[in-house]
Amino acid sequence: MPDLNCTYRPPPVRCNGFDPRAFRWALTMKLAVEEINQSTQLLPNYTLGYKIFDSCAYPLTGQRAAVAVLNGLSEEESPTCSDASPLLAVIGESGSAQSIVVSRILQPFRIPMISYFSSCACFTDRRSYPTFFRVIPNDDYQVNAIAQLLVRFNWTWVGVVRGDHEYGRFALQGLLRELKGTKVCVAYQEMIPLLYNRQKALEIMQVMKSSLAKVVVVFSAEGEMTPFLRDYMIQNITGIQWVASEAWVTASVFTGSEYYPFLGGTIGFGIRKGHISRLSDYLMTVSPENYPNNPLVKELWEALYGCSPYAPSASQLPLCTGKEILLVQHSAYMNTSSPRVAYNVYKAVYAVAHSLHNLLLCKPGVGPFENNSCAQSNNVLPWQLQHYIEEVKFKIAGEEVNFDLKGDSVPYYDIINWQKGTSGNIEFVNVGLFDGTKAAGEELVIYEDKITWAGHQREVPVSVCSASCPPGSRKAVRRGEPICCFDCIPCDSGKISNETNSVECIFCPEDFWSNEDRTICIPKKVEFLAYDSLGIALTVISVVGACLTIGVFLVFFHHRNTAVVRVNNSELSFFILFALTFCFLCSLVFIGEPTRWSCMLRHTAFSITFSLCISCILAKTLVVLAAFTATRPGDNIMKWLGPRHQRVIIFSCTMVQVIICAAWLIDASPYPSRNTKYERSKIILECSVGSSLAFWCVLGYIGLQACLCFVLAFLARKLPGNFNEAKFITFSILIFCAVWLAFIPAYISSPGIYADAVESFAILASSFGLLFCLFAPKCYIILLKPEKNTKQHLMGKEK
């Protein structure tokens, strides 16, 4: 741009470079005008004129062109505004930034303009742009399509690069708006300067290289992308999956084979292609010979062949030979197989022509203007033409063209994929479409099997900040980072997630638990003291104890008339052995799956049999103590401890326990329960005591009996005689109390099935203690020392 300091006449603006593609668009307009002028159906007897300006894809240059065309046919002829320009409509601009400037300049004059390439969503504001129309879809549809594309391929971490203009700014805002509520996050937003800056471009490329986002969405024009991609290739960056906007997705300048390693696999949304039958032949007519004074033709030749067609040249290029011909490989200019932007130019010109044709067909008295008037055919005003543009509807090559209330046309895109052609060049392959007129969710149609991705891959590239969380885990967002960046946390025990990228883990139902992978709920393992290794061991011990007790009973019964048996009160001994047999056997009730009857029988059978056993020992202790303390003649204490009274003592003491158990069963009997509190992954079948007070009362009563028995036996421990049974009773009760005192903390702290095992073991241990301490010495004498089985020896009177 020249230095505009307002102190001298500004020199003409010089465009930097030449775009053959844009020149093709200008020639398409020229072709359309010539077709219309030659038509006998459209605007017969009327001729359209035109003037083409080069905006250099820069807003300030576009502004200068707009002012020039308003001043007159030639900028030099009309230095000041002297009269209204014959201008009726403008076809253009290409870039949205230029269109904004031109539209605002034309707005006071109410001159309509139809853009063929300005897709910025900002133009939907009819208050700001009341005279603007376009034959390209609104960018709102494009960003919606791009958002659907990103979601479709699960690209949740993407970068965005845009141009420094309204088109890029509004497109980015629209994309961010569309991505709200989806799983897609934008990793970075970078902007290519309007006046290209290589240092800034290299900074953008460094961000692209270091980011985990391998998918980059670009909202930029072909002009800015050309130098940017040139530097991108110099940096030798690969592995980027480009998502191109319609502004450059069909740019022929990037179709060279040198671009494929870096841009191959690019996917984007292109303008709907059409067909212009005469365009290819028409472009071939352009040559320096046919247009000797046209500076644009001179620049075209310089751009295509690198030589100047005219001798005096300021470009320092060699002189052309004159034998240069336009070839198909000049794709930037000659690519007419599937015109898209050129087709939009073609439609825009025909839209103006059809609108003007309809205006001229108006009949006085039924016109659309004041008093039903029509426009004057020899003095058509631009605002009158705009009225007909708003209502125009026609078909061209089978496609219907019209404008909605916002000046937009039908939202339709082809999905373009850049693939390698047979010659090594890039070819634009149609792999789907986006039809904005369809219902939500049905607009996007993609043929995935036809797509070639970046790096010439057939598999969809991955672009995520964090890898997907597999089933069995949940996403935990990292603090201070977007929601797309997360850690995968395994589900806690008892919770599952059966989907990828679950936000939270769900609890399993009450009777279910998570498997090891935390992906499904499985029935909880049911545990109870079964007949496994532990249960079988306790059963064997219980049966052995019962058999030993029965064996002792048989020994005593066989030797019932001997001194040892008679001196030790055979009746009480038989009672004790009977009770001990049941004590051993009652531990079997604790093994097996708990039922209502087994739960009630467990504690009651154990408590009553032990109470009976201790009651018998208590009675025996009283007899021993009374027998050795009744030393005075005539002392009748033993008459109160005869066999009958002993039975009463046993019955009474046992009956108290029976009453306690009966009250327990009536008020709150034990019942089977499913314990899931101790270990939540298992269901432990156990017997709930029903009433803890009753349970501890039962144990407390047995303990009271044992303590009383211990005190009495302790008092009689030093009484005379070789066989003082009080010593053995003392020792047996001591073992009994030790076992049950140890049982209390062990029972309380034992988990699950081990609580029953502890109680069963305590019953067996205390039973064995009583059996061995009370009866082992007697059996020793009876079986191994029969010579000591005499009354004299036992009384200590043996000589």
Residue 589 pLDDT greater than 90, yes or no: no
* Residue 472 pLDDT: 92
* Residue 217: predicted pLDDT: 96
Confidence of residue 184 (pLDDT cuts 50, 70, 90): very high
Phi, psi angle pair for 416, to nearest 5°: -105, 135
The phi and psi torsions of 639 (rounded to 5 degrees) equal -70, -20
Helix (H, G, I), strand (E, B) or coil at 681: coil
Segment 783-790 shows an average pLDDT of 75
**Confidence band of 722 (pLDDT split at 50, 70, 90):** very low
Mean pLDDT within 611-626: 80
Model confidence at 749, pLDDT cuts 50, 70, 90, reads confident
- Joined together, the tokens standing for residue 521 give 């709920």
**In this predicted structure, which of 87-96, 330-339, 354-363 has the lowest mean pLDDT?**
330-339
CA-nearest of 17, 25, 37, 205 to 116 is 25
The answer to whether 177 and 472 are in contact (CB under 8 A) is no
What's the count of helices (H) and strands (E) in the chain, helices before strands?
22, 22
> Nearest to residue 373, comparing CAs of 389, 362, 382?
362
In this predicted structure, the answer to whether residue 612 has a pLDDT above a threshold of 60 is yes
Cβ atoms within 10 Å of 747's Cβ, excluding its own = 16
Residue 577 pLDDT: 87
pLDDT band of 311, cuts 50, 70, 90: confident
pLDDT over 50 (residue 476) = yes
User: What pLDDT is stored for residue 360 in this prediction?
Assistant: 92
User: For residues 508 and 498, what is the distance between their CA atoms, to the nearest angstrom?
Assistant: 12
The residue type at 3: D
- pLDDT, tens digit (0-9, with 9 covering 90-100), for 415-424: 999 999 888 8
Residues with Cβ < 8 Å from 142, sequence gap 6 or more? 119, 171, 245, 246, 269, 413
Q: How far apart are CA 158 and CA 152, in angstroms?
A: 13
CB neighbourhood size of 467 (10 A): 10
780 vs 77: CA distance, rounded Å: 145
Residue that has been written with the tokens 């960046």 in this structure: 485
Q: What is the DSSP letter of 513?
A: E
299 to 227, 306, 725: CA distances (angstroms): 19, 10, 132
CA–CA dist 259, 278 (Å, integer): 30
pLDDT: is 575 or 351 the higher one?
Answer: 351
Structure tokens at 347: 């439609």
Q: Which two tokens stand for residue 351?
A: 């839209």
| Residue 534: predicted pLDDT | 83
pLDDT at 637: 57
3-state secondary structure of 495: strand
Residues 99-151 pLDDT 10s: 999 999 999 999 999 999 898 888 999 999 999 999 999 888 899 999 999 99
Query: What's the distance, CA 751 to chain centroid?
Result: 39
d(CA 179, CA 186): 9
Mean pLDDT over 147-175 rounds to 92
Half-sphere exposure of 336 (CA within 13 A, CB side): 22
User: Residue 320: helix, strand or coil by DSSP?
Assistant: coil
CA 271 to chain centre: 34
For the CA atoms of the chain, what is the radius of gyration?
53
Q: How many CB atoms lie within 10 A of CB 742?
A: 13
Higher pLDDT, 641 or 664: 664
Least confident of 23-27, 33-37, 284-288, 567-571: 567-571
Q: How confident is the model at residue 308 (pLDDT cuts 50, 70, 90)?
A: confident
What amino acid is encoded at 710 in this protein? Answer: F
**Cα separation, 732 vs 710, whole angstroms:** 9
Q: What does the pLDDT look like over 435-452, one tens digit per residue?
A: 888 888 888 999 999 999
User: DSSP label at 461?
Assistant: P
Q: What is the DSSP string of 395-444?
A: EETTEEEE--TTS----EEEEEEEEE-TTSSEEEEEEEEEETTSPTT-SE
Residues 501-544 have pLDDT tens digits of 888 999 998 888 899 899 999 998 888 888 888 888 888 999 99
Cα–Cα nearest to 484, from 152, 134, 156, 782: 156
Where does 520-642 have alpha helices with state H? 533-558, 563-567, 570-586, 596-629
Quick one: what percent of the chain has pLDDT higher than 70? 90
Nearest-angstrom CA–CA distance, 170 and 178:
12
Mean pLDDT to the nearest integer, 628-652? 66
Which residue blocks in 669-752 are alpha helix, DSSP H?
692-715, 725-749
The winner for highest mean pLDDT among 249-263, 307-321, 329-343 is 249-263
Contact, 123 vs 107, CB < 8 A? no
Cβ distance 48 to 33 under 8 Å? yes
User: What's residue 47's pLDDT?
Assistant: 93
pTM here is 0.63
Confidence class of residue 30 from pLDDT cuts 50, 70 and 90? very high
Tokens of 127: 């208050």
Cα atoms in the Cβ-side hemisphere of radius 13 Å centred on 245: 33
Q: What is the enclosing helix (H) or strand (E) of 660?
A: helix 643-668
Residue 113's pLDDT is what? 95
- Cβ–Cβ under 8 Å, residues 464 and 457: no
Measured CA to CA, the distance from residue 392 to residue 354 in angstroms comes to 7
Average pLDDT rounded to a whole number, residues 76-104? 79
Q: What is the pLDDT of residues 660-711, one digit of tens each?
A: 889 988 888 888 888 777 777 888 888 888 888 888 888 888 888 888 888 8
Is there a contact between 232 and 262 (Cβ–Cβ < 8 Å)? yes
Cβ burial 638-657 (10 Å sphere, 16+ → b, else e): eeebeeeebeebbeebbeeb
Cα 769 to Cα 109, 539, 764, 766: the distances in Å are 118, 18, 8, 5
Task: Please give the mean pLDDT across all residues of the chain.
Answer: 85
Given a cut of 60, whether residue 799 has pLDDT beyond it is no
CA distances from 22 to 36, 132, 292, 451 (A): 21, 21, 20, 28
Average the pLDDT over each of 290-294, 453-457, 490-494 and give the range with the smallest value: 290-294
Would you tell me how many other CB atoms lie within 10 Å of the CB of residue 397? 12
* 787 Cβ contact list (under 8 Å, min separation 6): none
Q: Is 652 helix (H, G, I), strand (E, B) or coil?
A: helix
Please say if the pLDDT value at position 632 is more than 60. Answer: no
C-alpha 423/C-alpha 258 separation (Å) is: 12
Rounded to whole angstroms, the Cα distance separating 435 from 415 reads 11
* pLDDT for residue 654: 87
- What pLDDT score was predicted for residue 31? 95
Among the listed residues 81, 91, 79, 83, the one whose alpha carbon sits nearest the alpha carbon of residue 49: 91
Q: How far apart are CA 583 and CA 251, in angstroms?
A: 98
Phi, psi of 319 (to 5 degrees): -75, 140
